[in-house]
Structure 1
């Protein structure tokens, strides 16, 4: 740290959407210290960390106090709504510029805010807080409908619901009480109380303001497009406001008076209001920088840097009053991508980058094909937004619509919801209230997302596996043992576990419906005793919104289909043996393929259907083996040029560039007494003890050039990433007679029993089996924590 720099404490990094804030902070002449539950994506922007659970205010205050005893803290700030109150406590405890706790409570709590306004004679809608049936009945009789029901804490309009008629009020309240929780809406750590108030008509706006020493230094107004009711889903914005100058001055005057009366002296404020038929009306006050694109709009239009100004205010550095020019440098228009029905994204297309003439300011899309989208009242998923600019409001809106036309997506709705919707139309809450008990629930994922690392072993882990009796074969015994060993390993680390045997699908679904499981360790390989249905176990977990280890249903399904994998490898120019495929013995095989060839079932695992007879030397043998695969095994046949070199297993950990690592390689050297035998892993050589002696396994490989090992590792990593593997997987690579590596396949769900390849090479790094299993779990937790719901964010600028 430069000794002339001041030290700024930032409370909570927030999620990846806050990255632009930390990039800007890094550019300022300040030292950044972050109070957060753990180090994360922001590490490269942070000079120092204070690690504590920010939901535990006592622990956080103690951690800051200990840090401040050795290091001067010059200012404190937060850009994360959940931690506004904690930031107030820290400011008071450390004698820093900030908003006193009692004042912050009034602003953050919608009920306290309404009561304060009422006591000061400020105009507010009529409202009620209720905890009893009697209070509810009084609200019904005294309020003028429509009304709005909302949690007193909360962000982004989550669970804010418009109710048209008194008879709908009970069910709406029951829906919110049964659905909302701290796990789903983290801003509710301060408590869950529900209030109802009369609906305010008119145009909704956001007023972004800078206050210092009680004086208004800057303001800017954004028009909100009409929200999607009854759930007040944000649909877009126009910036700057198109309201008349008089209306804007009234709104700012109302907000300024309100902030003065409450006692807010310093900070960047995001004030939500409406210009109603009765004049300006407050909705709520956010004691932080507005989220999303507000910062960039204001910076581009007015050349005012809200982040820099917020930092100066927090550090006690004077900022002058900022006078806006008569016209902004740019006009902006933004639309949110919203969907009316819950479902699965089936198609999605948008440009990799927009052309300069499109005048796109910002574009983000949070989802990808195959992702679940839950709309109110099930949940409040946002798909993303797009913003465009122009020389005037009309140009900005026209450019927005042209750019938006380049983005297309389709969502296949959940049939269960559409059926309910057809039978109950009067109240939008009714189908959701009924549906909420049927499994479409994000609480498990959101719990993981907000949980500090110190609490991970409090998670209840389900072990998704297949259990067989001792009379079954060696493959079945392996499937049974791996689940039991994983269960023992996790329990030795202090986790509570529940075994889920997917051979009993009815019982498995019943266990999942009970809601006791927080996270699933998924090693299930069969459903209805078919390995082809393996991906559906992960699909089922997605439907129940229970996070799990391992790859997605798409990757699991893709890797079962060796033909599609070969197509993808060929397309991406990943080295793989020359190949062809057929579905019947009558189909022609590419005549350019050179014998010997190997014929494999195109959609089996565990080397099922692979024997010494799978390698063929001529057309007659080829036809016989194709007939065996397509008619006896009833599978498509994959035909490849035979590779006679050593085979390498490349075990990989992780999901993203920052955590993917290749474990030590495993090399298989084939040593047959009979020279006529082929160098392949047949079913017998994998599963028959008598045949193991024909293969020498080296872990790690001996007397192999580092250059070859690096090349094999790099090819494997490309394959792992191209096929979308998560958390762990094993890439199988074989050398040809010239020592060139070729990818055979990727196993995204390899066996991880104690003696198996992946845990064995992990052991070479000093990792016990128990540590290995926990590491997979922690990688999966990190993936859900860091990536959802923003891991497919596609910024344009």
Structure 2
């Protein structure tokens, strides 16, 4: 998969790789506004892998001095994991837009794809137009009528309510599902008030949850797993409370491809690759599925900026349970991105056979 990047001991010109990121901060009030940001452990792990390749890492936090620093140091290439500042739906595009304007090549999808996929309503609309399986849902703008959501609940018996543009389980709580129409106003208004954005109401999918990890252009499936919890055997949600539980990882069960029905894995792989292509993503992405009452996997989230913390984030875990190491993941990402940017030859990187 990643033979295109030589081992560190092989002669090669120096390549300065900036890591653009937002550093997670902890709040005493339990606010989740920094939930998507990365830990210092993630940055350190990426630096280690970059040095193994033979490149020189450079930390570039997206802070108030970011533009000045980036313009001054001008790295040769950027590994972008920045989620963006503020609460707008275009925040994941902030750093890629700046990099494009400065003509600095970077890993991952372009600003248009990043903005589109953060907006779950637009993502579902585009995927449905591409004939991909998605849950039925509706969007309720602040102050809007709930009649469409009430009809959705009546058709499916249970719904989940979440923000229109958030990630990392922000706005998804243990009580975000309901079978009671009288609770709908509370769940929807909670999203309006807490996140200042529209609420999405979707049919609740009661089955198993899966994630598929992709690398390359065209994409290759490098990780696939079913996600379960031995604490919540029924109605398990990747909720904010679960992720903040210090013991939650001890109760997670990750099952790789070998433990799954081949027909299910084929459906997941085909759907993930097709979603990657329909949304015009680049280099890497994680596609999440959940099965409906008939057992059909439907796409519930698309993440072109997946977490890359080893042993913690779903992307590297899904690769690990299928025999792909963290080192191979990062080398594969660089191979895909440098190849796409036409930088294999300038940095004497062998073309993978």
Contact 2:212–2:269 (8 Å) recurs in 1: yes
Matched position secondary structure for 1:483 = helix
1:620 Cα deviation (Å)? 0.8
Q: Are 1:689 and 2:249 counterparts?
A: no
Hey, what does 1:347 align to over in structure 2?
none
Q: Are 1:666 and 2:228 counterparts?
A: no
Hey, what does 1:543 align to over in structure 2?
101
Contact 2:21–2:38 (8 Å) recurs in 1: no
| Aligned structure 1 segments of 4 or more residues deviating by more than 6 angstroms | 470-474
Matched position secondary structure for 1:668 = strand
1:589 Cα deviation (Å)? 3.6
Give the alignment partner of residue 20 of structure 2, picking from 430, 440, 464: 464
Contact 2:35–2:170 (8 Å) recurs in 1: no
Counterparts of 2:134 and 2:26 in 1: how far apart (Å)? 39
Hey, what does 1:768 align to over in structure 2?
325
Matched position secondary structure for 2:202 = strand
Counterparts of 2:100 and 2:146 in 1: how far apart (Å)? 41
Matches within 5 A, 1:257-336: none
Matched position secondary structure for 2:93 = helix
Give the alignment partner of residue 512 of structure 1, picking from 43, 62, 70: 70
**Cα deviations by residue, 1:567-590 (Å, 9 ceiling, x for unpaired):** 111111111111111103541342
1:650 Cα deviation (Å)? 0.3
Hey, what does 1:782 align to over in structure 2?
339
Q: Are 1:483 and 2:22 counterparts?
A: no
1:562 Cα deviation (Å)? 0.4
Counterparts of 1:582 and 1:470 in 2: how far apart (Å)? 31
**Cα deviations by residue, 1:11-51 (Å, 9 ceiling, x for unpaired):** xxxxxxxxxxxxxxxxxxxxxxxxxxxx99xxxxxxxxxxx
Matched position secondary structure for 2:341 = helix
Identify if the C-alpha distance between structure 1 residues 730 and 468 changes in structure 2 by more than 3 Å, giving closer, same or farther: closer
Contact 1:525–1:531 (8 Å) recurs in 2: no
Matched position secondary structure for 2:145 = coil
Provide the alpha-carbon RMSD of the alignment. Answer: 2.7
Identify if the C-alpha distance between structure 1 residues 764 and 696 changes in structure 2 by more than 3 Å, giving closer, same or farther: closer
Counterparts of 2:87 and 2:288 in 1: how far apart (Å)? 25
Identify if the C-alpha distance between structure 1 residues 476 and 568 changes in structure 2 by more than 3 Å, giving closer, same or farther: closer
**Cα deviations by residue, 1:553-575 (Å, 9 ceiling, x for unpaired):** 11111011000011111111111
Hey, what does 2:168 align to over in structure 1?
606
Hey, what does 2:59 align to over in structure 1?
499
1:476 Cα deviation (Å)? 6.8
Contact 1:700–1:761 (8 Å) recurs in 2: no
Hey, what does 2:236 align to over in structure 1?
679
Contact 2:89–2:115 (8 Å) recurs in 1: no
Contact 1:466–1:480 (8 Å) recurs in 2: no
Q: Decide which structure has the larger Cα Rg and report it.
A: 1
Identify if the C-alpha distance between structure 1 residues 505 and 770 changes in structure 2 by more than 3 Å, giving closer, same or farther: farther
1:484 Cα deviation (Å)? 2.1
Counterparts of 2:123 and 2:105 in 1: how far apart (Å)? 26
Counterparts of 1:521 and 1:777 in 2: how far apart (Å)? 8
Matches within 5 A, 1:67-106: none
Identify if the C-alpha distance between structure 1 residues 691 and 766 changes in structure 2 by more than 3 Å, giving closer, same or farther: closer
- Structure 2: segments with no counterpart, 5+ residues: 5-9, 345-353
Counterparts of 1:772 and 1:522 in 2: how far apart (Å)? 15
**Cα deviations by residue, 1:176-204 (Å, 9 ceiling, x for unpaired):** xxxxxxxxxxxxxxxxxxxxxxxxxxxxx
Contact 1:597–1:641 (8 Å) recurs in 2: yes
Matches within 5 A, 1:123-202: none
Contact 2:135–2:298 (8 Å) recurs in 1: yes
Give the alignment partner of residue 130 of structure 2, picking from 572, 590, 612: 572
Counterparts of 2:258 and 2:237 in 1: how far apart (Å)? 18
Matches within 5 A, 1:214-253: none
**Cα deviations by residue, 1:326-374 (Å, 9 ceiling, x for unpaired):** xxxxxxxxxxxxxxxxxxxxxxxxxxxxxxxxxxxxxxxxxxxxxxxxx
Contact 2:22–2:37 (8 Å) recurs in 1: no
Counterparts of 1:691 and 1:764 in 2: how far apart (Å)? 18
1:490 Cα deviation (Å)? 0.6
Identify if the C-alpha distance between structure 1 residues 766 and 693 changes in structure 2 by more than 3 Å, giving closer, same or farther: closer
- Structure 1: segments with no counterpart, 5+ residues: 1-38, 41-453, 788-797
Q: Are 1:720 and 2:276 counterparts?
A: yes
Hey, what does 1:646 align to over in structure 2?
208
